[in-house]
Amino acid sequence: MTLVQTQPRPADADSTHRTAQEVMDAAGPQVCDDMSVEVALAVMAAARTGRLVVCDQDDQRIGLVTRTDLTAVRDSGAQADRVRLRDILGDHGSFASRVTTMGEAEHAMRSRRLGALRVVDEQGSAPGILAFSR
């Protein structure tokens, strides 16, 4: 597995020493946290992606949901058309700063078994998400 990068880099650049800011990935389409699980599954299918970036009403990235997260809610018997993404967002405790190196971020993601890691700025906003590519 390798980390997804949004910017081209020189062939000789060592990605483990680059910062999170340099390689942040939006990780998928952005949706609002008031979207239902059922609609989010449809968006995911249409976009042919396995994850969605969740934003609040101020357009700040607040989390990430995966197809696994959404199908677990749907398969649990909950009414997926009434459950909102804000209700199922996972652990907000795992994050990296903009200056975290990719080596540090990859280590944290692997040791915590995370598919994605929020990047948080000095104000606590999440300007991006790092994710492993498929």
The string of pLDDT tens digits covering residues 38-71 is: 999 999 999 998 888 888 888 877 777 888 888 8
Contact 22, 7 (CB under 8 A): yes
Sort strands 116-120 and 128-131 into parallel, antiparallel or unpaired: antiparallel
Phi, psi (deg, nearest 5) at residue 117:
-140, 125
By the 10 Å C-beta count (0-12 exposed, 13-18 middle, 19+ buried), 20 is classed as buried
The reported pLDDT for the residue numbered 100 is 83
The reported pLDDT for the residue numbered 2 is 42
Residues contacting 68, CB < 8 A, separation 6+: none
The reported pLDDT for the residue numbered 47 is 92
Task: Give the Cα-Cα-Cα angle 53, 133, 88 (nearest 5 degrees).
Answer: 30
Helix (H) or strand (E) run with residue 120 in it: strand 116-120
Q: For tokens 């009403």, what's the residue?
A: 57
3-state secondary structure of 36: strand
The reported pLDDT for the residue numbered 52 is 85
**14-18, 72-76, 84-88: least confident range:** 14-18
The CATH classification of domain 16-131, taken from the options 3.30.70.270, 3.90.950.10, 3.40.50.720, 3.10.580.10: 3.10.580.10
The reported pLDDT for the residue numbered 55 is 83
Classify residue 70 by its DSSP letter.
H
The residue extents of the domains of the chain are 16-131
More confident residue, 42 or 19: 42
- Reported as a single tens digit per residue, the pLDDT across 97-129 is 778 888 888 887 787 777 677 777 766 666 677
